[in-house]
Amino acid sequence: MTLIEDPAQYVQSSGFAGLRPAQIRVIFKLPLQFGSYPHPLAYIEWFTPLKSRPDPVSGMFTTH
């Protein structure tokens, strides 16, 4: 799992605001029948944005 910056929402030094949790599920290349693309692609599973405050019991940020 990773946090990815949402450029439309992210403000530097604002904690987790504007960051979206995501998980890379697979990295792959397209077959040649689809043309020549020089870079690998990734299938990303996006999660809902983090809540603005940590959970009072665990102290961890959770998703909505």
pLDDT in tens, 34-60: 988 889 999 999 988 888 888 899 988
Using the predicted structure, report yes or no on whether residue 25 has a pLDDT greater than 80.
yes
Give 63's pLDDT tier (boundaries 50, 70, 90).
confident
Strand 19-28, strand 2-5: pairing: antiparallel
Q: How confident is the model at residue 15 (pLDDT cuts 50, 70, 90)?
A: low
Does the predicted model carry a pTM greater than 0.85?
A: no
50 CB-contact burial (10 Å; exposed 0-12 / middle 13-18 / buried 19+): buried
